């Protein structure tokens, strides 16, 4: 199992290209099941989760080809061509689904295009129980018969799914995406109320529209879909990953350095950048992206609460906590989306951070002058990058174990940080 070794203390200075968004890529790959024509996705990040989704689609019978980015233009992602004209299997097996919860996103497309699906229940993960009840209840409201059998979701519909009004009792990115994909080929009108507004959901809706879907209300909490008989293929470029961009912005801030991020869409970074400016970080637009600077050295503690978009993203909570451990003053960090997303706290405390967990979902962080390097262990994707960030700032050596989590969501992280002066290396053990 690989480990990352970091000798902390060096301010990072340089340029980091931001890859395409993981959380846009995964639902867009699943959307290829909705048409028998070719869907071409560009600026696709090279991540383990993308490979897992590719393997899942291939075992369904999707023809998938990858054109690797040429070495000189490192800024562009891969190009994927996906064609679902020969799908022969509507089962998503446990062996694959257990690797990546987003596998559930094939459920809606399979049922609405083929009338049936057998998808393994994803099970929980480190950050929470992660149920899929909203996905299933929505599909049942559209006329699917759903049974749970032997750890699998068995969904069937005679004829087409029927459009209907679906009120989501809680905002869910995945449920919104699954039901949106189910609705585009359903008969009649579907109204999704309390829909998620995340940019990744908008990416999916925009691509479906280009494929011929009839969708209105994109980016709002009420999405209207008028079902069509079929969708056509298209080409779609994945937008920059706002969480990767936010993570490297924190890398500049926590090391008191200066990094230019390439290809970020500043409009979707607003909440993250507003928080960083309150901390005392300077942020300038450049021709190619955004420059993040904390060279004046003073970072203030600022409270943050995670919320559905456009609120502060839960996927940035662990990274912000790392930053707050060496800020001036204190910060209250409240996680409202997932019930168990503070496991990085204990590892940060091992590095000398002063953090008190309050009622399982809040943490009070009191800034200390310096963290101390230590051997630490990652528990999930964002917790692992939080520990890398803490290691970059700490005095001495930090060894991060179980970094396979990192490979799920960050492409070439060690190379990108080393290119900005970090003393960091990945060691196969």
The residues that are catalytic are 125
Q: How far is the CB of 173 from ligand EPZ (least distance, A)?
A: 4
Nearer to ligand EPZ, 28 or 290 (CB): 28
Question: Hey, what are 385's tokens?
Answer: 């990058």
Choose between 60 and 197: whose C-beta lies nearer to ligand EPZ: 197
| Sole binder of ligand EPZ in the list 314, 319, 384, 398 (CB under 6 A) | 314
Q: Contact with ligand EPZ (CB under 6 A): which of 409, 410, 414, 420?
A: 409
Q: Does residue 134 bind ligand EPZ (CB under 6 A)?
A: yes
Residue nearest to ligand EPZ (CB): 174
Q: Please give the size of the binding site for ligand EPZ, defined by CB under 6 A.
A: 25
Q: Please answer whether residues 41 and 29 qualify as being in contact, where contact means their C-beta atoms are separated by less than 8 angstroms.
A: yes
Minimum CB separation of residue 260 from ligand EPZ in Å reads: 24
CA 115 to chain centre: 29
- Count Cα neighbours of 374 within 13 Å in the Cβ-side half-sphere: 16
Could you tell me if 213 and 188 are in contact, meaning their C-beta atoms sit under 8 angstroms apart?
Answer: no
> Least distance from C-beta 368 to ligand EPZ, angstroms?
27
Interior/surface letters 65-104, b for 16+ CB within 10 angstroms, e for the rest: eeeebeeeeeebbbbbbbbbeebeebbbebebbebbbbbb
Q: Binding mask 192-221 vs ligand EPZ (x if CB under 6 A, - otherwise)?
A: --------x---------------------
Residues numbered 5 to 34 that lie near ligand EPZ (CB under 6 A) are 22-23, 26
Rounded Cα distance, 201 and 203, in Å:
5
Strand order in the sheet with 38-44: 63-67, 78-83, 38-44, 234-237
Dist CA 326 CA 253 (whole Å): 10
x-or-dash pattern for ligand EPZ, window 90-129, by CB under 6 A? -----------xx-------------------------x-
CA–CA distance, 162 with 159 (Å, rounded to integer): 9
Give the footprint of ligand EPZ on residues 333-362 (CB under 6 A): 337-338
Q: Which stretch binds ligand EPZ (CB under 6 A): 86-94, 132-140, 223-231, 345-353?
A: 132-140
Is residue 329 reached through a cis peptide bond, with omega within 30 degrees of 0 on the bond before it?
A: no
Site residues (CB under 6 A) for ligand EPZ? 22-23, 26, 101-102, 128, 130-135, 170, 172-175, 200, 314-315, 337-338, 381-382, 409
């Amino acid at each position: 199992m690989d480990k990352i070794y970091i000798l902390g203390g060096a301010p990072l200075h340089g340029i980091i290209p931001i890859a395409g968004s993981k959380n846009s890529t995964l639902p867009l790959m699943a959307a290829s099941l909705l048409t028998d024509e070719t869907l071409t996705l560009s600026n696709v990040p090279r991540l383990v989760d993308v490979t897992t989704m590719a393997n899942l689609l291939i075992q369904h019978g999707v023809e998938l080809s990858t054109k690797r980015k040429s070495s000189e233009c490192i800024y562009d992602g891969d190009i994927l061509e996906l064609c679902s004209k020969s799908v022969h299997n509507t089962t998503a097996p446990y062996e694959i689904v257990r690797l990546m919860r987003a596998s559930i996103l094939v459920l809606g497309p399979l049922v609405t295009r083929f009338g049936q699906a057998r998808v393994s229940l994803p099970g929980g993960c480190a950050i929470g129980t992660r149920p899929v009840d909203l996905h299933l209840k929505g599909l049942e409201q559209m006329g699917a018969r759903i049974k749970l059998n032997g750890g699998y979701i068995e969904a069937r519909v005679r004829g087409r799914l029927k459009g209907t009004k679906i009120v989501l009792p809680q905002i869910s990115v995945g449920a919104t995406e699954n039901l949106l994909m189910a609705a585009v080929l359903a008969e009649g009108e579907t109204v999704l109320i309390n829909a998620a507004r995340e940019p990744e959901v908008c990416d999916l809706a925009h691509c479906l529209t280009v494929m011929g879907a009839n969708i209105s209300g994109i980016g709002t909490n009420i999405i209207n879909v008028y079902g069509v008989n079929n969708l056509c293929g298209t080409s779609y470029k994945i937008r920059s990953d706002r969480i990767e961009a936010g993570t490297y912005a924190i890398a500049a801030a926590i090391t008191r350095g200066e990094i230019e991020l390439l290809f970020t869409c500043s409009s979707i970074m607003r909440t993250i950048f507003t928080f960083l400016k309150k901390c005392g970080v300077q942020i300038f637009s450049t021709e190619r992206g955004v420059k993040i600077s904390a060279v004046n050295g003073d970072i203030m503690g600022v409270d943050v609460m995670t919320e559905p978009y456009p609120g502060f993203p839960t996927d940035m909570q662990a990274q912000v906590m790392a930053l707050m451990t060496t800020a001036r003053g204190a910060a209250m960090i409240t996680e409202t989306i997932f019930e168990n997303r503070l496991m990085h706290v204990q590892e940060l405390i091992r590095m000398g951070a002063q953090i008190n967990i309050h009622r399982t979902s809040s943490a009070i962080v009191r800034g200390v002058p310096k963290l101390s390097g230590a051997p630490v262990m990652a528990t999930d994707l964002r917790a692992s990058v939080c520990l890398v960030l803490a290691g970059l700032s700490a005095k001495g050596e930090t060894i991060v174990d179980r970094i396979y989590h990192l490979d799920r969501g960050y492409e070439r992280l060690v190379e990108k940080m080393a290119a900005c002066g970090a003393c960091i290396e990945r060691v196969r053990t």
